[in-house]
Structure 1
Amino acid sequence: MNDGAAPPAAAAGRLEGLSEQEAARRLARHGPNTLEKPRSRNVADIMRDILREPMFLLLLAAAVLYLTVGDWGEGIFVLCGAAVTIGLVVFQEARTERVVSALRQLAEPFARVIREGRERRIPAHELVPGDLMLAGEGERLPADGVLVAGDALTVDESVLTGESVPVSKRPAGDGGPAEHAEAQPGGEATSFVYAGTMNVRGQGVVEVTRTGVSTNLGRIGLSLASIEDEPTLLQKSMQPLVARLGATALAFCGIVALTYGVLRGDWIEGGLAGITLAIALLPEEFPMVLAIFLALGSFRLARQKVLVRRSAAIETLGAVTMLCVDKTGTLTENRMRVAATWRTGILYDPSAAGALDVLVPAALASAPRPVDPMDKAVREAVGSSPLPVSATQPLRSYPLRPDRLAFIQAWAMPDGEVLHAAKGAPEAIFDLCGMPAGERAPAEGAVAELAERGLRVLGVASSRRAGVGADGRLPLFGFDGLVAFEDPVRSDAAAALSQARHAGIDVAMITGDYPATAVEIARQAGIDTGAGAMTGAEIARLAPGALEQRVRRTRVFARVAPEQKLALVEAFKANGEVVAMTGDGINDAPALEAAHIGIAMGRRGTDVAREAADIVLLDDRLASIIGGIRLGRRIFANLRKALVYVTAIHIPVAGLALLPVVTGLPPVLFPLHVVLLELIIDPVCSLVFEGEPGERHAMDKPPRRSGEALFGMRHMAFGVLQGLVVLACVFGAYLWAWAQGLPEDSARALAFVMLIAGNLSLAFAEAAEVGTPFLDRRHWVFFAIATLSFLVMAAIFGIPALASVFRVSLPPWPVLAAGLLLSAAAGGWVGFARWLGEAAAARRARQA
C-alpha cells in the first residue's frame, strides 16, 4: 500500500524525508502503524451465560418453593448446594485472545526517521508511508519498506519465512518500486524489508511503503482474526447430547408437577417433585466432568513441560491422525552448525585438523562478537584454537555490497603484516580470487553437491600484504575453501516421529526452506520423502480439490508461504484428517490457529505462535507431543467411562423421584437429597475416573475414527442398563421396607443409603482398570470420597437437626447391612463381568 507516498528514492542524495505537516496528513489517511485488536468476551458476557444454566434456575426455583412454605432449613441448604454445584460446573471459558497484541509487540516501540532533513526519534505507531526510516544493526524493523541507501543489509526474516539463515538486501536501483512489487519475504538480494524482521548486519535508509495491517505482518494478523475458533471434537460430541438430555429432563419436570398436582391436589409438593426429577435427570455433571478432566490433564501435561492454553484440545490429541511439523526450530535446533569444510578436493569433518585451514580464515572474516548465526557457528567450530593475529579487534571491516556479497576484515599480524579474510557467497569469493574457469569447476561442483545435501555453503579466502592500503583497495585473494553449514536435526526428533507412526499417526513437514534442504532434513528425521517435495508455487497453482488429492501422497512441502500453510492444513482437514500443526514463527500462526491442535515451541517460538496455539511445548521437544497424544487417548477412554457412569447413576435417582409419584407412595427423594447426591457424584465421576491409568496398549492402536462419538447410543444403553439394575435393587428394598411396616423416614433412609452405596460401588467397578489390585494406591481418591460420604451419612443420622431436615431416621442395623451388601452387588456386577471378559479374551489369545 503506497498510496500517497513518493516512489522510493533511487539515490542516497535524496534524504530530506517528509515534512511534519505531510506526515500528519498521511497518518490521518492511513491510520497508525498498529494492528487491530481481536474481539473477546468480557466478564459480563460469561456471567450472563452462567445465569441461564438450567441447573441454576431449577435449584433457585426449588429454594424459592421451600422458603415459600416456610422450610427454611431445606431452602438454605438448597441455596448453598446451588452455589457449590454451579461453582464447580463453571470453568474457564474466557480464552483471552492476545494474538494480534503479540504481533504488535514485535515492532519496535520507537523508530528513527528523517523528516525535513533531520533525524528524529518517533513512536513506531506514527510511521507513515513515505517516511525515511533508519535501520541500524540489531534493530527490529517496525514497517515494510524499500532499502534506498546505505550498506547491503543482512536481515533475519525467519519469523516470516521459517528459514534459519538471514538474507541479504541491496539498495534499490532506479527502477522504482515496480521492480519489487512481487517481492516476498525470504528473497535473496532484494530491496524489500518487512515489519517484525531483524537487521543483523549493516546500516541503511528504508523508505516506508506499508504500515499497520497493510504490512506482511499485519496481513497475518488479519488472517488470524478472520479464523473463528472451531469447536473441538469433544465439544461437538457433548453439546447435542447435553441438549437432548436437558430437554428430556425439563419435559419430565412439567409432566410430574402436573400429574402430582392434579392427582393429589398439592401443587407445592408437585412442583418440588417435578424439580427433583428434573435435577435428577439434568446432566449437569457432563460439563463438570469435562472441566475437571481437562483441568487435571492440563496439570499433568504441565509437569511434562507442556503448557495447555486451550484445555478442551487435550482430548483431541488422542484422535490426531496427521502431525504437520515445521522444520526450523521444530525438527531442527534453529541454529547453524558447521557440517563440513572443503579444500582442494577433500571434504573434511569440522573436527579434523585439516578443517582449520578453512575455519581459521572464516573465523577472521566473522564478527568478534557475532550476531549472525553463521558467524556464531564458525566461532564455535574454531573453539579454543589460536587465531594468527595480534589483536582482538580488526583493523578495518568491509561490509557487504550489492556488487560484492562478501564480508571482509583486515587484521594485524604479529610480524607487522595485515591479513585480509573474506567470507561470503561462493561466486563472490571466486571473483575476489580471480579464479579461472578451470579452478572454479571443482569448487562449483562441491558447492552443488553440498547444496543437494541441504547444506548452506560459503566460500572463504584470505590475503597477506604489508598494510591495509591507503586507497582502501582490496588485494587479490587466495582461495582457502568452502564451509558448509547445517541446521542440525534434533537428537530426539526421529524417535518421536517413529513413535507417532507406530501409533498410527502420519507425519508431514511444512517449511519455508528450499526443497533440497527440506527433503534432506525430512529424510534424516524419518519422514516419507518418496513423493519428493511439493513447493509453494505448485500449491498456489492448484485448485482446492486438486490440492486435497496431492496431499494424500506428499509429505514434504517446501518454500511454503503463510497462506499456503493454511491451505495445506485445510486440505488435510478436508480429507478427514484430525490435524496437529507444530511451529514457532509468525508465518506458522494462521496454520496453528486453523489446525485442530496448534502446537507452538516455547523456547524459540514467537509470541504470535504461542498465542495462536492450543498447546505450547516449554522444552521444545517433539517427544512431549507423543506424551500429550498418549494422555489424550487416556482422557478419552476414562471420560467415556465417566459419562457411562453419570448416565447409570441418574437412572436410579430419576426412578426414585418418579416411581413413588406413579405408585402413590410417599416421596423417596426431595431436592436436598438430590443436591447432596450431586455433591458426591461430581467428585466421584471426575476425580476417580480421571485418576485411573490409561489402557496398557493405547499407543499400539491407530487413532480412533474422527467421526466416532464420545458417547453414542451403545454407551448410553449400557449406562441405562447399569442404572436399571441399581434402581431395581433400591426401589425393591424400599417397597419391601414399606411391606414390613418400617416408618416412612426409615424406609427413605434405607433407600438413600443404598443409593449412595450403589453409586460408589458402580463408580469403582466402572473406573478400575482390569488387573489393578483393589487396594492399589491410585484408588486413594475413591476411598477418600467413600469415607467422606459415609461420614456425612453418619452425621445426618447422628445429628437430630440434620435428620429432621433430610426427613430420615436410622433403620434397623440388620436391614441396613443387608441393604448395603445388596446395593454393592448391584453396582459392582459390571466390574466382575469385565474381568470375566478379559480372562476369556486372554484364554482365546493363548489358544490361538
Structure 2
Amino acid sequence: MDTSSPQGLSQAEARARLQAHGFNELPQARRRSVWRMAAEVLREPMLQLLLAAGGIYLLLGDRGEAMMLMTFVALTIGISLHQERRTERVLEALRDLSSPRALVLRDGQRCRIAGREVVPGDWLVLAEGDRVPADAVVREAQALQADESLLTGESVPVRKAASGEAVSSASWAAVRPGGDDLPMVFAGSLVVGGHGLAEVVATGARSQMGAIGQALQAMEAMPSALQRQTRQMVRLFAVLGLGLSALVIALHGCLRGDWLAAVLNGITLAMSMLPQEFPLILTVFMAMGAWRLSAVRVLVRRASAIETLGAATVLCTDKTGTLTLNRMAVAELCVAGQTWRVTHSLPEAFHPLLEYGVLASQTEPLDPMEQALWRLAREQLPEPERTHMQTHLHPDWRLAREYALSPELLAMSHVWAQPGHRQHLIAAKGAPEAVADLCHLPEALRAEWRQQAEAMAARGLRVLGVAQARHEGPAPGEPWPAIQHDYDFEFLGLIGWLDPLRPGVQAAVARCREAGIRVAMVTGDHPATALAIAEQAGIDVRAGALRGEALEGLSDADLALRVRDTHVFARVMPEQKLRIVRALQASGEIVAMTGDGVNDAPSLKAADIGVAMGARGTDVAREAASLVLLDDDFQAIAQAVHLGRRINDNLRKAMAFVLAVHVPIAGLTLWPLLAGWPLLFMPVHIAFLELIIDPVCSVVFEAEAAEPDAMRRPPRRPGAPLIDRAQVLWSLLQGAVVLACVGGWYAWLLSPDAGAQAWLGALDEAQSRTAGFVALVVADVALILSNRTLTQPVWVALGRANGALWRMLLATGVVLGGILLWAPLRGLFHFGPLSAPVLGGAVAVGVACLLLLELLKAVRAAAAPRAA
C-alpha cells in the first residue's frame, strides 16, 4: 500500500479493492431460504387448523374439500412469503441507510462514505465522537485517545501515537487493543479525544472486531412492549377460542352424534376466533413505518420510537444546523469599540483579531464557524499574513499544544511553535465571558465587552471572543502550563457569525404548536442570540432564556417547575441536557431531544425519543438515539411526528378492524349450531375470509393517508394503550352490528315465512348458505370502508387515494364471482346458484350494515368528541 502521500485512494482503486476484499461488515446470518420461511409460516395455528380440517375431510372421503383447503394453505403461504420478502427488502434498505459512516480521503478530498464501503488502504480522518470503522495504523495524531472497552472490557481511554513504519496487514496483525501509545486504532472503538489520520489495514471479518462477530450475530433483540401486549392478546383469544371449540365439539357430538362433524365445527370455531393478524400487523406496520420515515430523511434505529412519536409533547432542539442552515458566515468584527461589517476590505486594526481567530482554529477545519473564518482570512488578509497562517502548508510551524474546551472554561487555545524562536504564540477563542475571564480584565472593561457582545447577539449573531498570548517554551523535561489561565492573555475583540434560519422552520414550529407540542431550544449560544433566533423561528420567548449556570443552581423540583414555562435554554453544556430531559419527564412530558456530540449521548438515551444529527453528529450520539435526522433539519422532526401519528392512527384502525371482523365470524359459527340451523361456515369459508382479512389489516390500512386533524389535536395521552377499553367496546359494537344484520338475514332465508319465499323463492340449504356468505363478505367490506377514517363519513373517505384497497376489493370481487359462477368451484364451497333478487338482497344487507355503522359513528362523535 502506498504511504508516500496522504491523498488517499482514488475512487477507481477503492472500487477495485471493495470488489477484492468485500464489504467492511461483520459476518451476517444467512438469509432465510424460501423453504425455511414456509416452514415458519406453517407453524401458525391457523394453518395447522386448516391442515387438520383437510385431514378430516380425507378421512371422510371428501377429496375435493380437502384439496380446496390445501389450496388455501398454499395461497396463505404464498401471501405470507410475499409479505416476508417485502419486509426483508425494506429492512435491508434501512440497514444500508443505518451503516456507520466514515470520513476518508479519496483523490485528495475528504468524503463521507458508509462504513461498510471502507477498504484496506483508505485513509481515515478521525475526530472526537467517531466510531472507528476498521483496524488502521495511526499516521498523524493530535492528542488522540480511544475507548476500546468494546474489545478489551477496560473503560479507561488509551492514548494513540503515530507510526512511521510501512503499512502491511501481516506486520500489524499481531497488535492487540489496550495500552497507551500504540500506533493503531481498532474497528468498533470510539475516539473520545483529539483527532488524527489512520491508514486501514484490516476490514470486516479480518479485523479484531471480526473475532467476536459470531457472538454478535447470535444476539437476538428483545420484543418491544407493544409486541408483548399483542402476544398476550393473541394468547387470550387463542385460549378462549380453543375452550369454546372444545365445548362445541362436546355439544355437537352429544346432541347430533356425529363426532367427525363435531371436530370440524370445533376447528371452524377455533379458526374464526384466532386473531393471528395482530403479529402480522405489527411486523408490517413497523417495517413500512420505518421505511416511510426514511423517505423524509429520518432513520429509525429503534422501532418503539415509531409508536412514541404519536405521543410526544415536547421537542427540544438545538439551534445550529437544525433550526438554522449551519452555513456560517462572519458578519461582524469588533475591536476596541469599532465594528467592521463584511462589506468592504478589512482595515489594518482588525487584522490581529482575524489572524488569531484562525490560529485558534483547526488547520483542516470541520466546524462551519472555523471554515467561515478561514474563508474570510483568505479573502481579506494580505498575502504575507495569509501564508503566515496557513500552517498546514508550512511544516516549520508546529502546533505544540492544545487546550480543549471544558465545562469549567468555555474557551480553547492553540500553542504554536516557530522555528528558531524560543517564544511561542498562543491563540484562544471561546465564549466572550470566558475569554474575558481568561484575560483577567478589570470589571469596567469586562462590562463594556459584555454590552457589545449582547448587542451583537441581539442581532442574531453567534459571538466569540479572541485573545492572544506569548510564552517562552518550557525547558527540556519541564511540563507545559497545566491550564489556560497560566498564560498572560490579551483580549483582542469579538467575532460575530450569522447563520440564517432554514426555510420552512417557522411553518414547522407553528405546525408543532398547533398539534399541542411544545418546541424548546437548547443551545450553547449566548442567551441574546438564542432568544433572537427562537423569536424568528416562532418559539415562545415570553419566559426568557434559562442559562446553564442558573440551571446548575436549581434543585430538581425547582427545575421541574421552571421547564413548564421556559422554552429557551442558553449557554447549556451537553451534560446539562440530561437534567432538562429528566425535569420535563418529571413534569409529565414525553420528550424528544436532539443532540450530536459525545456528551449528548446520556440525554439522548434518557429522552423518550432521542434524535441524533446524521450529517454533523458523532457515531456515539447516533448509537444512543432512537431516530437519526439524515439532513439535520428541524422540518424532518415535524414530518416524523406527523408520520408517527398517521402510523398510530392506522395501527389502531387495523387492530380495531381485526377485533370487529372476528365477532360476526365467530358468532355466525356458533349461532346456527345453537339454533339448530344448517351450518353457515365450514373451514374452507373461514380460510377464504382470512385471505381477505390479512391483506386488509396489514397492507390496506397501513397505506391509509393521515387523518385531516392528525396535527390539529393534542398528543396521545402518555401511557395510554394503543387500543383502550373504549376502542375495544367500539370494535365489539361494530362486530355486533354486522352479526345482527347477517345473522338476521340468514335466519330469514331459512324461515318458512311465506313473504320471504314469495319474494326470493324457495331456497335450499346450499343457496341460503351462499346468500348468507355473500352478505357477510359485503358487510366485511362495509367494515373496511367505515374504519378507513376515525372521524369523517365514508363518502369523504372514498375520495382518498388508497390503491391497495381497490386492488384488494377488485381481487375479492373477481374470486367471489368465480366461486358463484363456476359450478365445480361452487360445489367445493357447498354453495348453490343464486337468483338476482337473492344476490341483490345479500348486497343490500351489506349496504345496510355500512349505513348503520356510519350512523353509529356519527352518534359516537356527537356524544363524545374523540380524544387524542
Same fold (TM over 0.5): yes
After the TM superposition, which residues 195-234 of structure 1 pair with which residues of structure 2 at under 5 Å, given as runs? 195-199=191-195, 231=224
User: Greater shift after overlay, 792-801 or 501-510?
Assistant: 501-510
Name the residue aligned to 1:134: 161
Q: How does 1:39-58 map to 2 (within 5 A)?
A: 53-58=44-49
Aligned to 2:769: 748
Q: Secondary structure at the match of 1:253?
A: helix
Partner Cα separation in structure 2 for residue 337 and residue 632 of structure 1 = 36
Matches within 5 A, 1:381-780: 381-382=376-377, 384-385=379-380, 387-389=382-384, 396-397=396-397, 399=399, 401=401, 405=413, 424-425=427-428, 442=445, 445-446=448-449, 449-450=452-453, 453=457, 455-459=463-467, 481-486=492-497, 488=499, 490-492=501-503, 493=505, 495-510=507-522, 526=539, 530=544, 532-534=546-548, 538=552, 551-552=563-564, 556=569, 560=573, 565=577, 568-739=580-751, 740=757, 741-768=762-789, 769-770=792-793, 773=796, 776=799, 778-780=801-803
Q: What residue identity is the alignment partner of 1:252?
A: L
2:782 & 2:811 partners in 1: Cα distance?
Answer: 15
8 Å Cα contact 1:566/1:594 also seen in 2: yes
- How far the C-alpha of 1:622 sits from its partner, in A, is 0.9
Q: Distance in 2 between matches of 1:726 and 1:437?
A: 82
The one-letter code matched in structure 2 to 1:344 is: A
Alignment deviations for residues 4-29 of structure 1 (CA, whole Å, 9 cap, x no partner): xxxxxxxxxxxxxxxxxxxxxxxxxx
CA offsets 1:640-687 (integer angstroms, 9 cap, x no match): 333333222212211121112112222211122111111112223344
Q: Which amino acid in structure 1 is aligned with residue 52 of structure 2?
A: A
Alpha-carbon offset, residue 451 of structure 1: 7.7
Contact 2:612 2:627 in 1 (8 A): yes
Shift of 1:500: 2.2
Deviates more, 1:667-676 or 1:292-301: 292-301
Pair 1:105–1:536, CA change in 2 (3 A):
farther
1:380 equivalent in structure 2: 375
1:131–1:76 distance in 2 versus 1, CA, 3 Å: closer
Give, in angstroms, the shift of residue 320 of structure 1: 0.6
Which residue matches 1:79? 73
CA deviation map 1:691-747 (0-9, x unaligned): 443333332222121133332232222222222222222223323333354222222
Q: Quick one: structure 1 residues 65 and 841, their matched pair in 2 at CA, closer, same or farther if it must change by over 3 Å?
A: closer
Q: Which amino acid aligns with 1:705?
A: R
Q: Select the residue among 348, 358, 368 that pairs with 2:340.
A: 348
Report matched runs for 1:771-810 at 5 Å.
773=796, 776=799, 778-810=801-833
In 2: Cα distance, 1:200 partner to 1:447 partner: 36
1:106 paired residue number: 132
Paired AA for residue 764 in structure 2 = P
Q: Is the 8 A contact 1:66 1:75 kept in 2?
A: no
1:371 corresponds to: 365
Distance 1:840 1:195, change over 3 A: closer
Instruction: Decide whether aligned partners of structure 1 residues 320 and 512 sit closer, same or farther in structure 2, where only a CA change above 3 A counts.
Output: same
1-side partners of 2:831 and 2:53: how far apart? 20
Deviations 1:14-70 (A, max 9, x none): xxxxxxxxxxxxxxxxxxxxxxx9999998999999776543543443344344445
State the alpha-carbon separation in 2 of the partners of residues 437 and 727 from structure 1.
84
Unpaired segments of 5 or more residues in structure 1? 1-36, 115-121, 149-159, 161-193, 202-211, 214-221, 412-419, 430-435, 463-476, 843-848
Answer yes or no: is the 8 Å Cα contact 2:249–2:266 preserved in 1. Answer: yes
CA distance in 1, matches of 2:163, 2:527: 32
1:143 CA drift (Å): 9.1
Tell me, in whole angstroms, the C-alpha distance in 1 between the residues paired with 2:770 and 2:43. Answer: 34
**Distance in 1 between residues matched to 2:534 and 2:272, nearest whole Å:** 55
Is residue 512–residue 518 contact of structure 2 (8 Å, CA) maintained in 1?
yes
1:510-538 CA distances to partner (integer Å, 9 max, x unpaired)? 56788898777767653656461345993
The alpha-carbon distance between structure 1 residues 229 and 518, as it changes in their structure 2 partners (threshold 3 A), is: farther
Q: Give distance in 2, aligned partners of 1:628 and 1:437.
A: 48
Code of the aligned partner of 1:283: P
Look up the equivalent residue of 1:399 and give its one-letter code.
L
* Aligned residues of 2:429 and 2:464 also touching (Cα < 8 A): no
Distance 2:272 2:220 in 1: 39
In structure 1, how many angstroms separate the alpha carbons of the residues matched to 2:857 and 2:618? 49
Question: C-alpha separation between the residues in 2 aligned to 1:227 and 1:678?
Answer: 31
Task: Tell me if structure 1 keeps the 8 A contact 2:351–2:381.
Answer: no
Contact 1:73 1:805 in 2 (8 A): no
Paired positions, count: 700
Residues 311, 390 of structure 1: alpha-carbon distance in 2 compared, 3 angstrom cutoff: closer
For 1:582 and 1:724, the matched residues in 2 are separated by 47
Structure 2 gaps of 5+ residues are: 1-25, 102-114, 117-128, 141-147, 165-175, 183-188, 198-207, 210-215, 404-411, 433-438, 471-487, 752-756
Aligned to 1:734, the other structure's residue is in SS state helix
After superposition, the Cα gap between the structure-2 partners of 1:592 and 1:405, relative to the gap in structure 1 and judged at 3 Å, is closer
Q: Counterpart of 1:532 in structure 2: which amino acid? A: L
- Does structure 2 conserve the Cα–Cα contact (< 8 Å) formed by 1:407 and 1:423? yes
Q: Which amino acid aligns with 2:552?
A: E
Matched letter for residue 772 of structure 2: A
Report the residue type matching 2:399 in the other structure.
P
Q: Secondary structure of 1:389's partner?
A: helix
TM-score, length-scaled by structure 1: 0.68
Question: How much is the aligned-residue C-alpha RMSD, in angstroms?
Answer: 5.4
> Equivalent residues in 2 for 1:311-322 (5 A)?
311-322=303-314
2:296 equivalent in structure 1: 304
1:277 alignment partner in structure 2: 269
Deviation at 1:781, TM superposition (A): 3.7
Amino acid at match of 2:453: L
Q: Structure 1 residues 386 and 227, CA, compared in 2 at 3 Å: closer, same or farther? A: farther
1: distance between equivalents of 2:860 and 2:348? Answer: 69
8 Å contact 1:343–1:481 — kept in the other structure?
yes
Q: Post-superposition shift, 1:570?
A: 4.8
Matches within 5 A, 1:35-184: 53-70=44-61, 71=63, 72-84=66-78, 87=81, 105-106=131-132, 109-111=135-137, 133-134=160-161
- SS of equivalent to 2:191: coil
Cα gap change, 1:276 to 1:130, in 2 (>3 Å):
closer
- Which amino acid counterpart does residue 379 of structure 1 have in structure 2? W
8 Å contact kept, 1:89–1:284: no
TM-score normalized by the length of structure 2: 0.67
Distance (Å, rounded) in 1 between the aligned partners of 2:830 and 2:382: 92
Give the share of equivalent positions with the same residue, in percent: 33
